[in-house]
A and B are shown apart, each in its own frame.
Chain A
Amino acid sequence: DGGITQSPKYLFRKEGQNVTLSCEQNLNHDAMYWYRQDPGQGLRLIYYSQIVNDFQKGDIAEGYSVSREKKESFPLTVTSAQKNPTAFYLCASSIALNEQFFGPGTRLTVL
């Protein structure tokens, strides 16, 4: 079955650590996205990529980094520069101008 997978489901980070969240899709979609969701809030765009080896900053890119070396994969690194990283992180993919398919999310907590 086609879909998007994210791992891990839960992640705990100590202050000062970098952590990487995985996102993989087998839908053959060109575009992929990372969103952050805080409790009771909407989705805010961190980074997005419309094609392999290219990506753009979203609205809240500071403290995050991404890579897009393969069409299927779009990992997100939360760096130590992100001062308040505790949130629910959602990855999505789409064919341009169509619906976005979301993964199940990763819940990141800073200890």
Chain B
Amino acid sequence: QQPVQSPQAVILREGEDAVINCSSSKALYSVHWYRQKHGEAPVFLMILLKGGEQKGHEKISASFNEKKQQSSLYLTASQLSYSGTYFCGTEPDPKAAGNKLTFGGGTRVLVKP
């Protein structure tokens, strides 16, 4: 089942903060976050693993509540380059399903000057 993302869209002024949430009805092993610019391929932002390990490339922070099966992505002091659609991808037990992600419907973020 597809994870649910909220909000569906958010408009920010440069420098403002925002939080994007991702909720799953299934127990999760990991949550991935990607950003996609219009017409382009998604770009990796961060992985959060069960047990607390995190791997990421950019200065964007996130959290993973394993008990609630939820993850949140924090856009802090937003920049114009943060505009795009953010997707979370959730992975259940990899022994059962392999490295297979189910993506949410996306959150559109627009950062204005």
Binding site for B on A (CB under 8 A): 31, 35, 40-45, 48, 50, 56, 58-59, 90, 94, 96-105
Contact = CB atoms under 8 A, between A and B. Distances in A.
A43 B47 contact: no
B24 interface: no
Nearest to A95: B99
A99 B34 CA distance: 9
B100 interface: yes
Contacts of A99: 32, 44, 47, 55
B30 interface: yes
Contact of B105 (A41, A98, A104): A41
B55 A96 contact: no
Nearest to B44: A99
Contacts of A43: 42, 87, 89, 103
Interface residues of B, number: 24
20 contacts: A31-B98, A31-B99, A40-B106, A41-B106, A42-B103, A42-B105, A43-B42, A48-B98, A48-B100, A56-B98, A56-B100, A59-B102, A96-B94, A96-B98, A97-B99, A99-B32, A99-B44, A99-B55, A100-B101, A102-B42
B91 to A, nearest CB: 8
Nearest to B33: A99
Interface centre among B42, B43, B89, B94 (most CB of A within 10 A): B42
Contacts of A90: 41-42
Interface of B: 2, 30, 32, 34, 40-44, 47, 49, 55, 87, 89, 94, 98-106
A56 to B, nearest CB: 7
Nearest to A58: B100
Contact of A97 (B44, B94, B102): B94
A58 B98 CA distance: 12
B42 A45 contact: no
Contacts of A58: 100
